[in-house]
């Protein structure tokens, strides 16, 4: 054909090389595990305004004894675009830059030894995401497990790395939305008739109690005044003079005349 061009000889040699690299690029094993909020009964405050608690991935990474297991925390809309090859403990995955410009950070790195299977009796098997406060502004600790900056929603997954190369991952969790404190302006006053009635009754009872107390004080005051007036009208008792009386028969005795 007049317009056809001969194929470059290097294309034939690079094609097998690309085919060999393709499995390596997709070598991350997807594990059938989905992180979730913990349901352990003794734990209170599974979700707060800046933290949440998830179950540890026990019996999940048993085939990766040499791996370091990381927890990836991402904004809900950024989970699907997270790059597994992003370097942990680096500016591109640093907590201090989350959520903008970094939409996902990596934290709580540990080895498989801290996720024993089966779980020994009495072990704490939950992770509290957002529990560290001392490293929030410390850029020397990019893997800080700092408080979450807003209500979210967030998604999390576990990622296993061997020599900084991702080898296995779990699914992303369902969206996790944290608790929010309501603004006083957002609190609805509808349906507060019962409260208004209680306030009115309390006000009336308070007024009646004040009137009763005032009457009692006035009564005590008048009683005290009457007592003082009656005591001042008492007349001083007359002094009683006792006259000495000598019986006449005393002087009739002979001894009394001596």
Give residue 249's pLDDT. 52
Q: pTM, whole model, 2 decimals?
A: 0.63
Q: Which residues contact 132 (CB under 8 A, 6 or more apart)?
A: 144, 145, 146, 147
The mean pLDDT value for 73-99 works out to 95
Give residue 177's pLDDT. 97
Q: Which of 144, 139, 119, 140 is nearest to 129 (CA)?
A: 144
Q: Considering the chain, what percentage of its residues have pLDDT values greater than 90?
A: 53
- Give the pLDDT confidence of 187-243 residue by residue, as tens digits: 555 554 556 677 878 888 889 888 988 888 888 877 776 665 555 554 555 555 555
Q: Is 133 helix (H, G, I), strand (E, B) or coil?
A: coil
Give residue 247's pLDDT. 54
Q: Considering the chain, what percentage of its residues have pLDDT values greater than 70?
A: 69
- Give the pLDDT confidence of 116-164 residue by residue, as tens digits: 999 888 888 999 999 999 999 999 999 999 999 999 999 999 999 999 9
Q: Domains in the chain: how many in total?
A: 1
Give residue 72's pLDDT. 98
Q: Which of residues 94 and 195 earns the better pLDDT score?
A: 94
Q: Which residues contact 167 (CB under 8 A, 6 or more apart)?
A: 27, 28, 29, 64, 67, 160, 161
- Assigned domain for 207 exists: no
Q: What is the domain range of residue 56?
A: 36-180
- Assigned domain for 79 exists: yes
- Assigned domain for 52 exists: yes
- Assigned domain for 169 exists: yes
- Assigned domain for 245 exists: no
Q: Is 107 helix (H, G, I), strand (E, B) or coil?
A: strand
The answer to whether residues 147 and 65 touch, using CB atoms and an 8 Å cutoff, is: no
- Assigned domain for 138 exists: yes
Q: Which of residues 121 and 69 earns the better pLDDT score?
A: 69
- Assigned domain for 143 exists: yes
- Assigned domain for 71 exists: yes
Q: How many CB atoms lie within 10 A of CB 160?
A: 24
């Amino acid at each position: 054909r007049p317009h056809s061009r001969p194929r470059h000889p290097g294309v034939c040699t690079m094609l097998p090389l690309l085919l060999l690299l393709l499995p390596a690029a997709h070598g991350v094993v997807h594990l059938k595990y989905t992180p979730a909020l913990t349901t352990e009964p003794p734990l209170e405050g599974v979700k707060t305004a800046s933290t949440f608690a998830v179950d540890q991935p026990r019996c999940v990474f048993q085939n990766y004894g040499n791996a370091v297991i990381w927890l990836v925390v991402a904004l809900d809309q950024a989970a699907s675009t997270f790059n597994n090859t992003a370097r942990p403990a680096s500016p591109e995955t640093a907590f201090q830059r989350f959520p903008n410009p970094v939409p996902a950070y990596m934290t709580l790195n540990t080895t498989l030894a801290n996720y024993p299977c089966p779980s020994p009796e009495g072990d704490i098997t939950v992770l509290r995401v957002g529990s560290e406060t001392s490293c929030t502004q410390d850029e020397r600790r990019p893997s800080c497990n700092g408080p979450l900056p807003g209500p979210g929603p967030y998604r999390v997954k576990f990622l296993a790395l061997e020599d900084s190369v991702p080898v296995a991952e779990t699914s992303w969790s369902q969206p996790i939305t944290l608790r929010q404190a309501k603004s006083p302006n957002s609190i609805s006053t509808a349906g507060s008739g019962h409260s208004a009635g209680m306030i009115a009754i309390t006000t009336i009872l308070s007024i009646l109690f004040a009137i009763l107390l005032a009457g009692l004080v006035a009564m005590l005051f008048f009683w005290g005044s009457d007592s003082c007036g009656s005591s001042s009208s008492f007349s001083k008792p007359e002094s009683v003079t006792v006259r000495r009386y000598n019986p006449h028969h005393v002087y009739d005795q002979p001894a009394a005349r001596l």
